Structure 1
């Protein structure tokens, strides 16, 4: 017969191991209210059962023989045996039905025993089974249900007997009708329990279960009735009846296993899909959001998962404890009855080894585990650790099976073990996915967001907030630290800088390391004044000295920022565009102004630079780029020794473009090789034509630091000299002092290769860099050029005069030719001549001239020496 048991509401809560949950009071109040309603319902069921039993006993008084005393114990034993072969159907919403063979002894009892005997046997057998299996939570309710089942069966059977006119004995049809009434009464009581507990069940579900219960009850009752009638008329046929009964029991048992396997497979599929969907939803969340089980979406996911496990096991409570992050504490999700107390951090169930299921009971456990069960208010529990390799991911607990006949069995242990295995695998995959996703959107060194992560996090806030600011910060000391102390110390500086930014801006500000020593931050609801103040404060913190080992490294930071506008918010925001604007502001910073806001004019400047870079090759082909020459003369003889080739660009849109503007842009774009080849070929062509005219005039070409990193450059120069048939001594290559000193070890082989070609090498802008005499002596250079800033100040600044004199003396002591550039006055020329300077160059002699004007200048201001044509030189006219 189907027996039903109702339980309290399955309320899900989530807590940490130590604090109380925010909604714990509300959940506890609801659970207490449900428990109170069920107690009232139990009292009603028990009272009605007692009253109904008394009424039926009066209506159908005991008329049996005292010599048949053995019928009562025999029926009780039959009821006990029938319950042991029950088929359990666990229904969701905390209700479970047990389909058993109790209809067989009941129908026989209706035929051969008085009401009181059958009632007593059924109640004793049922309560004894509950107590033996430690299912003590609902004994009174089940006792009332037992009373109403037997009472309703005898009442209906008595009415049918009277209708059929069989007052002395109960005909088989009356016994069959009474027997079918018992499972219907049990079903009605269970449905009432569902309503009392405020559960919902669909009508079609109720009708389907009731139909199945009636079919099973009819089959059981028919078997019992048939067996009784056969044996009563043919006593020697009892072996056949017994064989049929055993076959029916085997059929039910097989059906029970098949039904359980089907339910278990459905539950395993549901659990796997729930965890998989949870992982997919976690992966779809924005970068930077923590995968915290306390999050609104996560708690719903894990609660739903725990409810599904609870329904499948018909447990009073499921406790799911998870550690989704190795750095966080264990989180707890509770579904079903509330825990009496918060679980301790040192819970002994967390120390269980292995990953197999433990079936723990109060009467047979270790004292520590017994204490843990008492703290949970549980009589028995299935506990399984969730592990990935040797790492504990969590613990899954099922407390007190909701069944009036039995506790957890071997099938429950197997099911929970398989569920836990799937859950542990899914959790491990989820953690792996979260790790991969975190790595994809975060910088591995500082732990801050990277560029893709910042783009994802900043997009929505920029669109939703009219006043938002993107900050970009650059540390300009990183390369120096890397060269001096190594990359490990530079990494430490970056981590320290990231920590300072986080401390300054707070934990809620999206912060990223873009690349190298560049950082970005997003300020929401921030006006221009607030952005500037924050940028100043950030720069001050980042520019403070950094303790590195036993050293203190002085640092400097520059900050640029770009703010959104209402129009841009309406049209849509591109995070990369704002990062680019902030980068423009950073590059527009100057000494003494380390914080700059982006203004539209900066965009025009960089757009112009971009256009120049993209149009440079075409400009060379179209003749927009040309070479001008500035003469150099010897002191004191005033012979024209050579010229310096200087590039010029006449842009059709921008007009004449200053070399200081386009040369760095071309160099940064990797086009310096094109520029150098063009100037070198043009200059050597001019020298070749001078040689054809009988003039030996050398030409100087400026090199970039990138040329010194190109191992093929000496071969390219050799090829150019060969193509134009120009001796190497008529070509001078000028290199800036800072360019040579950037990486002297790398530049030295290139310079030696050029020197082997007979080319003159000159160090330009000497005195402004950081070269040492040791390196200068190693380099195969022939000339040093005094920077024009010192030559300009010689007439008024004694310090500049001393520097120039020192450079002249230093150059001569090293056997080098000394060239002074920026000579614009006669006084400066005379001073240089008195110091013994070798060569002068500047506006006093000539400005840079185009090739045509240079020819006119040479004709007008020089005279050819009377030497043979092969050795003719030009003398400057005074």
Structure 2
């Protein structure tokens, strides 16, 4: 094979056209060719190392023919139009694969890239000898140019990942649709192969730059391609992520293949040229062609891959039970905006905070409740982790703020001047104008800032972003109270307590679980209360379930308690009645 032919083959493989499913955009051109030339056979023939593979074909069931003595190979070698009026009269091609199939006529025009590499031919064939006119040759060259324009269009439309030259997830949809037409109800497996998790990928991008990420993706791609068989298809599914498809019914073989790929990728860490150490994880999804949408295949594969990471396994197979949970979370996120717009789904309930020394109510925490029309009651513990890093976080916190402030204003008007606490997500402090908007809500209801307290987790308060620190200082200056929520479980370093403008700490309920290590937990609890009190913080204990716990908290000097043992979260009317009854 000449150096030019080797370069042509490299260019062809980089385009990832070989062994891909049929595509209507190419089939349309071959159908047009048979009609224009009034011939029974036409093909887009690509020249591989030892075969002519048909990306598109009309009039034949053959998917490929040997390259040896094929006229398409001759066109690729010369990059010129070749016409054979009668195979039987040709000394060079009378024993070609096409002649052996009974064909007599051939005309082929080269498929040439902009860089000058010939990938194969656009050819028409017939079972009778035939001549060809100059006008027909120009028509065949036009059809060849249309094929190459389609190849370039697929590149331009983002069907190929620029870093790895692999087809991307957009191409997966088309290929699965084509496979479903050719092999309806065929069994297939998708493997999502991830070289690094999201945190590692972000760290690599920040420290080494996006160029090193691309280089890692290229090395991973080349290594994976060397592990593929002719039955396999590899795609880029994202930065340093790959999708591997194989048609098979043998799940055991796929499991073994996944483990083999995992171990093989880990061996790359021995190379000194690796930009970063890979930590591969693989998700496996079995599916039936034509019965599972491409986007669902990708979603389930990603989900399974994350399951593998979560359970610290090399690979994990899709589980229907786990997917039910994923679909529920998707439904909740999708329906959140509707819940914010209607009046009968979201509500706030209020759980009293009680002074342990006097037993009187000194405040309440506003807690969100969502009655989903189909999924029923959705707890904050399920909802907040879902929305806190999405665009929905702002709208949800805004709804809680407005509703809590309106309720507090109504109570103030009736003489109930208890401060109300609301939970704020870390992402809310990243919002431009968050504090200004909060103060506007208070002002519109003629409420003093002291009527409101914001509960923030340690992770939110420890952000290094300048915008967060500015918001915290503005909140402190306005007189709005800040409480550290779930205190004692977040960070080992307590130095941040010297700089955070908080007035209270809410001790995490984990310290009130005395079913095991009771004395150990009581010692920690006492230490936390003493530390907070010495630093000037008000202390609030959550989750105390027995009278013994309440007595212990009083003995340790804890200021307040909030728990079901004292009162469950109450509707506004029930809360008013409870306050009236206890006072």
TM-score normalized by the length of structure 2: 0.68
Match of 2:190 in 1: 470
1:738·1:771 contact (CA, 8 Å) conserved in 2? no
**1:302 maps to 2:76:** yes
3-state SS in 1 of match to 2:417: coil
Partner of 1:683: 404
- Would the alpha carbon gap of residues 585 and 306 (structure 1) be closer, same or farther in structure 2, given more than 3 Å must change? closer
Residue number in structure 1 paired with 2:246? 523
Matched, 1:449 2:167: yes
Q: How does 1:417-428 map to 2 (within 5 A)?
A: none
Question: How far does residue 501 in structure 1 lie from its aligned partner after superposition?
Answer: 4.5
Distance change in 2, residues 1:486/1:827 (3 Å): farther
> Which moves more between the two structures, 482-491 or 667-676?
482-491
The structure with more radius of gyration:
1
Residues 544/676 of structure 1: CA separation in 2 closer, same or farther (3 Å cut): farther
Question: Tell me, what secondary structure is at the counterpart of 1:479?
Answer: helix
| Shift in Å, 1:510 | 2.0
Question: What's the offset of the Cα at 1:645?
Answer: 0.9
Deviations 1:550-594 (A, max 9, x none): 9997875554332223xxx4x566322322333444466684375
Q: Report deviation, 1:468.
A: 0.8
Residue 282 of structure 1 deviates from its aligned partner by 11
- Whether the aligned pair in 2 keeps the contact of 1:808 and 1:836 (CA below 8 Å) is yes
Higher helix share: 1
CA displacement 1:327-361 (0-9 Å, x = unmatched): xxxxxxx999xxxxxxxxxxxxxxxxxxxxxxxxx
**CA–CA separation in structure 1 for the residues paired with 2:504 and 2:383:** 27
Say if 1:474 and 1:518, in contact at 8 Å, map to a contact too: yes
Deviations 1:617-656 (A, max 9, x none): 4445232211111122234344422111111122343332
Q: Once the two structures are superposed, what CA deviation does each residue of 1:755-775 show, in whole Å capped at 9, x if it has no partner?
A: 332111223223333474455
Pick from 295, 299, 310: which aligns with 1:576? 295
Which residue does 2:429 correspond to in 1?
Answer: 708
Query: Residues 392, 859 of structure 1: CA spacing in aligned structure 2 closer, same or farther, 3 A cutoff?
Result: closer
Secondary structure of 1:696's match?
Answer: coil
SS in 1 for 2:426: coil
Equivalent residue runs for 1:533-548 within 5 Å = 533-538=256-261
Question: Equivalents in 2 of 1:548, 1:768: separation in Å?
Answer: 40
For structure 1, list consecutive stretches of 5 or more residues without a partner in the other structure.
1-14, 21-276, 287-292, 318-333, 337-386, 395-422, 864-878
Matches within 5 A, 1:366-765: 437-438=154-155, 440-461=158-179, 464=183, 466-474=186-194, 477-480=197-200, 482-483=202-203, 485-488=207-210, 490-491=213-214, 494-495=217-218, 497-498=220-221, 501-502=224-225, 509-516=232-239, 518-538=241-261, 558-565=281-288, 569=289, 571=290, 574-586=293-305, 591-592=310-311, 594=313, 595-601=315-321, 604-620=324-340, 621-667=342-388, 670-741=391-462, 744-765=465-486
> Is the alpha carbon distance of 1:451 and 1:791 closer, same or farther for their aligned partners in structure 2, counting shifts above 3 Å?
same
SS for the counterpart of 1:711 is coil
8 Å contact from structure 1 (residues 283, 437) kept in 2: no
1:18 deviation in Å?
11
The answer to whether the Cα contact below 8 Å between 1:631 and 1:643 also exists between their aligned partners in 2 is yes
Distance 2:446 2:267 in 1: 58
Q: Quick one: structure 1 residues 839 and 795, their matched pair in 2 at CA, closer, same or farther if it must change by over 3 Å?
A: farther
Q: Distance in 2 between matches of 1:512 and 1:635?
A: 62
Following superposition, the deviation at residue 803 of structure 1 comes to 4.2
> 1:67-216 to 2 correspondence within 5 Å?
none
Whether the 8 Å CA contact 2:213–2:239 is kept in 1: the answer is no
Against the structure 1 CA distance between its residues 733 and 555, is the aligned structure 2 distance closer, same or farther, given a 3 Å change threshold?
A: farther
Residues of 2 paired with 1:729 and 1:650: CA distance?
31
For 1:457 and 1:580, the matched residues in 2 are separated by: 17
What's the TM-score once normalised by structure 1's chain length?
0.47
Q: Is the contact between residue 454 and residue 510 of structure 1 (CA under 8 Å) also seen in structure 2?
A: no
1:823 paired residue number: 544
Taking a change above 3 Å as real, the CA distance of residues 798 and 584 of structure 1, as seen in their structure-2 partners, is same
C-alpha separation in 2, matches of 1:701 and 1:693: 21
Distance 1:303 1:760 in 2: 79
> What residue is the counterpart of 2:106 in the other structure?
none
Judged with a 3 Å threshold, the aligned counterparts in structure 2 of structure 1 residues 827 and 500 are, in CA distance, closer, same or farther, namely farther
Distance 2:230 2:534 in 1: 61
**Deviation sequence 1:654-689 (CA, Å, 0-9, x none):** 332223333444446522222212221221122223
Aligned residues: 489
Query: Which whole-Å CA distance do the structure 2 matches of 1:542 and 1:558 have between them?
Result: 10
What's 2:124 paired with?
none
How far apart, CA to CA, are the structure 2 residues paired with 1:706 and 1:734? 13
Q: Deviations over 1:689-728 (max 9, x none)?
A: 3322333311111112331221121121011111122211
The CA distance in 1 between the partners of 2:510 and 2:332, in whole Å, is: 29
Partners of 1:477 and 1:555 within 8 A in 2:
no
Q: 1:757 to 1:543 in 2, by over 3 A?
A: farther
Equivalent of 1:811 in 532, 541, 545: 532
Q: Is the 8 A contact 1:467 1:527 kept in 2?
A: no
Cα distance in 1, alignment partners of residues 323 and 187 from structure 2:
20
| Alpha-carbon distance change, 622 to 509 in structure 1, aligned in 2, over 3 angstroms | same
Question: What is the alpha-carbon distance in structure 1 between the residues aligned to residue 3 and residue 207 of structure 2?
Answer: 46
- Matched position secondary structure for 2:478: coil
CA pair 853-712 structure 1, distance change in 2 beyond 3 A: same
Q: What is the alpha-carbon distance in structure 2 between the residues aligned to residue 701 and residue 731 of structure 1?
A: 8
Comparing 769-778 with 708-717, which one deviates more in the overlay?
Answer: 769-778
Change (3 A) 1:388 1:684: closer
* Residues 665 and 812 of structure 1: CA distance in aligned 2, closer, same or farther (over 3 Å): same
Q: Distance in 2 between matches of 1:466 and 1:444?
A: 31
Contact in 2 for aligned 1:458/1:522 (Cα 8 Å): no
Does the aligned pair in 2 maintain the 1:442–1:448 contact within 8 Å? yes
2:576 maps to 855
CA displacement, residues 159-183 of structure 1 (integer Å, 9 cap, x when unaligned): xxxxxxxxxxxxxxxxxxxxxxxxx
In structure 2, distance between residues paired with 1:545 and 1:751:
46
Change (3 A) 1:713 1:824: same
- Indicate the SS of the match to 2:517: coil
Distance 1:706 1:843 in 2: 29
Q: Output the CA distance in 1 between the equivalents of 2:264 and 2:526.
A: 43
Separation in structure 1 between the aligned mates of residue 495 and residue 273 of structure 2, nearest angstrom: 28
Following the alignment from structure 1 to structure 2, what is the Cα–Cα distance between the partners of residues 725 and 550? 65
1:443, 1:431 → 2: CA distance? 19
Q: Whole-Å Cα distance in 2 between the matches of residues 521 and 576 of structure 1?
A: 15
